[in-house]
């Protein structure tokens, strides 16, 4: 039996949670205001690059700016500490 589009997408995502393309990739899902979404679209179109590339450039620029004035100790801490909060799924909750 043929898979539905939803099933194909679920299979693709399950096989690619941390895709390895050298540095690896991670999925980001977030809601933003319409204004922000339109601005991102405009920036990408103006620069003739993808929205992903726009976001990556903005984030890398912000990291450079934030770390430029840090001491070595602060910079080490910045890059060492990664706060990880696992996603809760419906089956993870204990209803007892």
CA–CA separation, 7 and 21 (whole Å): 24
Please report, for residues 48, 68, 91, the alpha-carbon distance to residue 31 in angstroms, rounded to integers and kept in the order given.
24, 29, 24
Please choose, from the candidates 30, 54, 26, 27, the residue with its C-alpha nearest in 3D space to the C-alpha of residue 40.
54
CA–CA separation, 43 and 82 (whole Å): 29
Give me the tens of pLDDT residue by residue for the chain, a chain 96 residues long: 788 999 888 888 777 666 655 566 777 889 999 999 999 999 999 999 999 999 999 999 999 999 999 999 999 888 887 666 556 666 655 554
């Amino acid at each position: 039996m043929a898979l539905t589009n939803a099933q194909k997408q679920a299979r693709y995502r399950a096989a690619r949670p941390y895709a390895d393309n050298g540095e690896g990739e991670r999925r980001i899902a977030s809601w933003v205001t319409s204004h922000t979404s339109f601005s991102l679209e405009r920036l990408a179109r103006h620069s003739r690059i993808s929205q992903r590339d726009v976001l990556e450039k903005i984030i890398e620029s912000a990291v450079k700016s934030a770390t430029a004035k840090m001491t070595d100790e602060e910079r080490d801490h910045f890059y060492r500490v990664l706060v990880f909060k696992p996603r809760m799924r419906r089956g993870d909750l204990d209803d007892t």
